[in-house]
Homo-oligomer: A and B are copies of this chain.
Amino acid sequence: MTRRGETALRFSATGQLALREEPVITRLMTAVLERPELLSLAAGFTDNSQLPADSVDRAAAALRAKDPGKTYLQYGRNAGDPALRGALAAHLRTFPGETLPDIGADDFLVTNGSQQLLYMTVQLFCDPGDTVWVEAPSYFVFLELLRGLGVRPVSMPVTPDGVIDAVGCCRQLRAWRAKGVAGRPRLAYLMGAFANPSSRSLAADEKTALAEALRAEAPDLPVVEDMAYRELYFGEPPGVPSMLSMEVWRGHPVLYAGTLTKPFATGLKTGYGVTRSKTWREGLERIKGHQDFGSSQYAQALLREVMQSGDYARHLRGVRPFYAEKAALLERVLEEAGLRTCGWDWESPAGGLLLWLRAPDGLDTSFDGRLWSAAMEESVLYVPGDLCFAEGVPRNFVRLSFGALAADRIGEAAQRFARAAARAAARAAD
């Protein structure tokens, strides 16, 4: 674990886990850096052309004008800027079905992107060796986070079309209960809207059935509903409220994970969590106190200003049709290149930044498979779908992102991907 010529260091269990496996993101980034001609449909970045430089400048000017004491450049509170948290509480109530009369600034915690919130939540509930219940597929960066803390992700049962199988969940929970509480996952992690990678949103009855299963079999199992992509809808806002507003979830420990990073500016790196569980929130706040005792106050002050001025909402009205068009473009080129007729399949996303493709049966899309080597030859990058499953199977899915790549390169990238798919299929036939 130590480089040649270095003093051998003795690492903790966490340190050894961290050093054991190269993260996927490193592998993908190295590919990009080594081959500048490569077009990436893998990166989870947003589109630089949409980054709100004017809004940020206006917010900075407003801060100067309003606050001669310059508190926006000083340390803030560990839990986050109270005015930003208040703005977030008000903002949450603007979504369809989201009532939350009892939720206020004090129920929020601001973090370095929602990633830190997820990391701290896992620290709070999970010891090494524990398990976390995740969707199939789930967010691969979260799966890596779990493994980095020595925690094992376990897939929830889903129906063939990807819907959470509440009956199967009940059965699994009951089996765990029979083995005693130790064998059960310590946490469940779901993405409520335009999930990464599937772009699916949880339906109301799906959430209701899960709540009922949990009430019967595991009323104390903490649940995270990650809403990172919620605001990036293409047409109408999602009609299903978060678990926080659903009567059937009342009394169940739930954390809503949100972010201002993806919908506004990734460079401001500001996420947030909100929960009715005072102990959960306080535990996170304590861990944050040790980890960094508060996120950048300047980023928070800019975002508070942007939300209060209406620039945040205006920005989103602009980016929604923009990403809708990029999604449509990516789909159209893939269709025209004949991908569907070769046995590929996908659902059109209604929001988010991702397209989730099912490859023909038998085509291995993983780093070890034919599609990956063909894609390298065609100079196009994707995320192998197996990375998004807790158990690493199935191996015939692909995640494509239409977020980062400029609109005028998406067509070319999609054509390269289609050629790679054809090439991989031809080799299979050999």
* Residue-wise interface mask of A (1-36) relative to B, using a CB-CB cutoff of 8 A (1 in contact, 0 not): 111001111111111001100010110010000000
How far is B10's CA from A292's CA once the two chains are assembled, in angstroms? 24
Cβ contact within 8 Å between A266 and B220: no
* Option from B8, B72, B148, B267 in Cβ contact (under 8 Å) with A72: B267
Cβ contact within 8 Å between B292 and A113: yes
Cβ contacts under 8 Å, A145 to chain B: 290
* Option from B18, B52, B219, B296 in Cβ contact (under 8 Å) with A290: B18
Cβ contacts under 8 Å, A322 to chain B: none
Cβ contact within 8 Å between B293 and A115: yes
A122 CB, nearest partner CB in chain B, Å: 8
Interface residue A298 (Cβ < 8 Å from any Cβ of B): yes
How far is B240's CA from A243's CA once the two chains are assembled, in angstroms? 58
Question: Contacts A45-B74, A51-B70, A75-B45; is A287 near B12 (CB within 8 Å)?
Answer: no
A297 CB, nearest partner CB in chain B, Å: 4
* Residue-wise interface mask of A (201-245) relative to B, using a CB-CB cutoff of 8 A (1 in contact, 0 not): 000000000000000000110100000000000000000000000
Residue of B nearest to A50 (CB): B70
Cβ contact within 8 Å between A265 and B298: yes
* Residue-wise interface mask of A (134-171) relative to B, using a CB-CB cutoff of 8 A (1 in contact, 0 not): 00000001001100110000000000000000000000
Residue of B nearest to A29 (CB): B77
A422 CB, nearest partner CB in chain B, Å: 32
A323 CB, nearest partner CB in chain B, Å: 15
How far is B130's CA from A97's CA once the two chains are assembled, in angstroms? 49
Cβ contact within 8 Å between A18 and B124: yes
Q: Which of A188-196, A278-286, A368-376, A410-418 contacts B (4 or more CB under 8 A)?
A: A278-286
* Residue-wise interface mask of A (289-304) relative to B, using a CB-CB cutoff of 8 A (1 in contact, 0 not): 1111111111101000
Cβ contact within 8 Å between B64 and A48: no
Cβ contact within 8 Å between B112 and A279: no
How far is B8's CA from A181's CA once the two chains are assembled, in angstroms? 13
Interface residue A252 (Cβ < 8 Å from any Cβ of B): yes
Cβ contact within 8 Å between B51 and A19: no
Interface residue A46 (Cβ < 8 Å from any Cβ of B): yes
Cβ contact within 8 Å between B14 and A287: yes
Cβ contact within 8 Å between A7 and B252: yes
A149 CB, nearest partner CB in chain B, Å: 7
Question: Contacts A19-B286, A115-B293; is A73 near B268 (CB within 8 Å)?
Answer: yes
How far is B286's CA from A181's CA once the two chains are assembled, in angstroms? 32
User: Given A12-B127, A269-B292, 15 other A-B contacts at CB below 8 A?
Assistant: A10-B181, A11-B124, A11-B283, A14-B124, A19-B282, A45-B74, A48-B71, A51-B74, A53-B73, A72-B267, A113-B293, A119-B290, A141-B293, A148-B287, A269-B297
Interface residues of A (CB under 8 A from B): 1-3, 6-15, 18-19, 23, 25-26, 29, 45-46, 48, 51-53, 56-57, 60, 64, 69-78, 112-113, 115-116, 119, 123-127, 130, 141, 144-145, 148-149, 181, 186, 219-220, 222, 251-253, 265-270, 277-280, 282-283, 286-287, 289-299, 301
